Structure 1
């Protein structure tokens, strides 16, 4: 069970050794699946100000529109982006909402707090938590995200392990808004023939269905 986070003051006092912060290279592509039609859509580079909803949303309570706060989620591999986007139904619906797979390279390295231990650090354990942070109820991980955001104004977001595909994922705060490129590296609808093989392979590996 994931305990509540320490106070903001306690997190600041604990500091951030170098092995607990990942410098995400500007050369690495980050992938996202996003709907392009229907309600509540955002552009590929849009940071969501409404929340909290998802795991590391750092928006204040109560849930609602919070100008000045923004969150953007991505994955290191297309499979991870597909796994997260269709986790509820486990059906990769290539048509509803006209979803796109978009890959981007940030224009500068991102400083990300490594809560998964991918870089060898043990931040989450050292400050009194545990690796249930990747899978605990959202209300608890959001509490951690709010505290992290306020305690460490010099980080751009959080690096964590995807709950469904197991790969590296990132949640970027509004501080990373200046790092988005003017155009994505690749952006195609999931119905595009060029994505057929990748989508089918990801679905097979995840045990999802393609519709």
Structure 2
């Protein structure tokens, strides 16, 4: 007998969501972003192109392309987790590649996030492994969540599959946009002296090399 996947490729048509599954969030978020790559975005700009293979919770409709009704931004609650996620493929923090910068900001309003660390996944036929599971399946759930709840939530609260620390996936669309400020509280090129201590601490915590 075939074992049922913990995160089915096809989410349910409707979700069971209780007040306890929604988390208010107004703390600082961190992001590492490229400034010189062909597809670079501003630090506070959500990506409208997708879904991209290998990204866990892209909410864009299929087939892949520009989606004016769906945007996504992946952010972390600590700088070392932001660096861990960005450089997970090589485990090397490259301080010059694509002119990357690191920024920190606080939302301009309290965000409402669907908390995947609660029993919401299992209550809806999946499992907590949604935060770590096959990304084709988790992207399908992201599309369904955004379609069903995009007007009520700003995104997802979950754990990093690298550091197990909290991370936030922000959604955007025609009905609701997350509270992103015009300017970050902290901003520095990864190669700048201002980022030295952040990169050094991340390297020690993660065991990543730095070049």
Task: Check conservation: 1:2, 1:132, Cα contact below 8 A.
Answer: yes
Per-residue displacement from partner, 1:47-71 (whole Å, max 9, x unpaired)?
Answer: 1011112111010111122222111
Aligned to 1:199, the other structure's residue is in SS state helix
Q: Which residue of 1 aligns with 2:50?
A: 51
Q: Which residue of 2 aligns with 1:90?
A: 91
Greater mean alpha carbon deviation, residues 196-205 or residues 95-104? 196-205
Q: TM-score by structure 2 length?
A: 0.90
Aligned to 1:103, the other structure's residue is in SS state strand
Q: Which residue of 1 aligns with 2:179?
A: 179
Question: Which structure: greater helix fraction?
Answer: 1
Greater mean alpha carbon deviation, residues 29-38 or residues 187-196? 187-196
Per-residue displacement from partner, 1:178-199 (whole Å, max 9, x unpaired)?
Answer: 5111111111011121221221
Task: Check conservation: 1:5, 1:147, Cα contact below 8 A.
Answer: no
Q: Which residue of 1 aligns with 2:140?
A: 143
Q: Which residue of 2 aligns with 1:78?
A: 79
Task: Check conservation: 2:103, 2:185, Cα contact below 8 A.
Answer: yes
Q: 1:133, CA displacement in angstroms?
A: 0.8
Hey, what's the Cα distance between the residues in 2 that align with 1:78 and 1:6? 32
Per-residue displacement from partner, 1:130-155 (whole Å, max 9, x unpaired)?
Answer: 01211212110011011111121311
Structure 2 residue ranges without an equivalent (≥5)? 1-5
Hey, what's the Cα distance between the residues in 1 that align with 2:156 and 2:83? 19
Q: Which residue of 2 aligns with 1:190?
A: 190
Per-residue displacement from partner, 1:15-59 (whole Å, max 9, x unpaired)?
Answer: x2222111002xx11000001112110000111011112111010
Q: In the alignment, does 2:69 pair up with 1:68? A: yes
Q: 1:123, CA displacement in angstroms?
A: 0.7
Hey, what's the Cα distance between the residues in 1 that align with 2:184 and 2:163? 23
Hey, what's the Cα distance between the residues in 1 that align with 2:69 and 2:45? 13
Say which of 130, 133, 144 aligns to 2:130. 133
Q: Which residue of 1 aligns with 2:120?
A: 123
Q: In the alignment, does 2:12 pair up with 1:7? A: yes
Hey, what's the Cα distance between the residues in 2 that align with 1:170 and 1:154? 16
Task: Check conservation: 1:5, 1:128, Cα contact below 8 A.
Answer: no
Q: Which residue of 1 aligns with 2:3?
A: none
Hey, what's the Cα distance between the residues in 2 that align with 1:183 and 1:38? 21
